[in-house]
Amino acid sequence: MKITGIELRRIAMPLVAPFRTSFGTETRRDVLLLRVVTPDTEGWGECVAMSAPLYSSEYVDAAADVLRRFLIPALPAQADAYAVGRALHPFKGHRMAKAALETAVLDAWLRGTGQSLASFLGATADRVAAGVSVGIMDSIPELLDAVAGYLDEGYVRIKLKIQPGWDVEPVRAVRERFGDGVPLQVDANAAYTLTDASHLARLDEFGLLLIEQPLADDDLVQHARLARKIATPICLDESIESAEHAAAAISLGACSVVNIKPGRVGGYLEARRIHDVCRAHGVAVWCGGMLETGIGRAANVALAALPGFTLPGDTSGSRRYYTTDITPPFELEDGHLTVPTGPGIGVEPIPALLDEVTTDTEWITL
């Protein structure tokens, strides 16, 4: 497939409510979109890097820079999705930037062949269970109101963001108010250290599905130690950037569940490899999220339809994030999102809505 050019488009999307984690508060999503153009078709990719390097070392300006300076110029004249991965391999890191480029090429390629991303990846489900990630709030009553609203909407699993000072009490309050039957998990975004092990063991009594990324990103060994001190299953997010990392974490006993985010690991092909490694070892996976627009969400929902995705993902409906999405909105039906079946990622931005939120565009001729 010949690529004639690539558009880098920056959009600013206000969130419906501030989203607070242990690393910061987001009120607006600053998103980089890529549009790959070929003589016959085009393809879209969403870069999930955030404005500041707080979740990981990547940030959106750096992603745009590495794409225009190194990654896009390295593309071969004839590119399919596998060729993109090979061409980008020599460049270290920048997985979110690589993922956006690979996805846009993959989308264009699949549109050309008429195949959906879900079918290409090996999806076996036509809908996926929707969980929701609930940010840190100023008070417990505020949290309980938010959780009540999400349960009313039909979300089948609740994830609470936690940090030191906001952990046991919010979990206890949610259990007391909504009961033991609600599938519940927590995400610390690396806010604790191994010296907090006995404190984290206080979460054991609440029957959580898992605790996500309690310790530092680069510390598999300490996660393995923690796993022996607490009963709640450990799930890794930030620590897993490749299938090799997943294999290492599993063999060390650092986790028994993996959150797969295609952006974090460099794309959907690597995400599928991680799924395959985990599945072969009986390790459950679920699809994480990075507050994506409908473009990134469509591809995530396709991935989440693979057979190893046995836990509900952070694949929420569009309105959990945005009043107006740039694509037709994803909506919950009986607690699930429908997997797109059209060619490629199966959705496109609505031009007028996209233009309204666009802050910058740049065209790179190949």
8 Å CB contact between 327 and 350: yes
Decide which of Mg ion, ligand OSB, none touches 316; Cβ closer than 5 to 8 Å per partner kind: ligand OSB
Minimum CB separation from ligand OSB for residue 49, in Å? 10
Cα(26)–Cα(119) distance, integer angstroms:
34
Minimum CB separation from Mg ion for residue 9, in Å? 26
8 Å CB contact between 345 and 294: no
Decide which of ligand OSB, Mg ion, none touches 291; Cβ closer than 5 to 8 Å per partner kind: ligand OSB
Minimum CB separation from ligand OSB for residue 1, in Å? 30
82: left (phi over 0), alpha (psi -120 to 50) or beta: alpha
Choose between 38 and 316: whose C-beta lies nearer to ligand OSB.
316
C-alpha of 206 from chain center: 26
161 carries an active-site annotation? yes
Q: Are strands 131-134 and 157-161 parallel, antiparallel or unpaired?
A: parallel
**Under rule CB under 5 A, residue 237 binds Mg ion:** yes
Minimum CB separation from ligand OSB for residue 254, in Å? 17
Q: Which of 2, 98, 159, 161 is catalytic?
A: 161
Q: Which residue is nearest to ligand OSB (CB)?
A: 289
Taking each helix axis from N to C end, the angle separating 81-88 and 268-280, rounded to the nearest 10 degrees, works out to: 90
261 carries an active-site annotation? yes
3-class secondary-structure state, position 317: coil
Minimum CB separation from Mg ion for residue 304, in Å? 15
Decide which of ligand OSB, Mg ion, none touches 274; Cβ closer than 5 to 8 Å per partner kind: none
Sites of contact with ligand OSB (CB under 6 A): 55, 133, 187, 189, 237, 288-291, 314, 316
3-class secondary-structure state, position 47: strand
Site for Mg ion in 46-85 (CB under 5 A): none
Can you spell out the DSSP letters for 73-97?
GGS-SB--HHHHHHHHTTS-S-HHH
Which residue in 81, 87, 86 sits closest to 106, CA to CA? 81
Choose between 241 and 314: whose C-beta lies nearer to ligand OSB.
314
Q: Which residues are catalytic?
A: 161, 261
Residues lying near Mg ion in the complex (CB under 5 A): 187, 212, 237
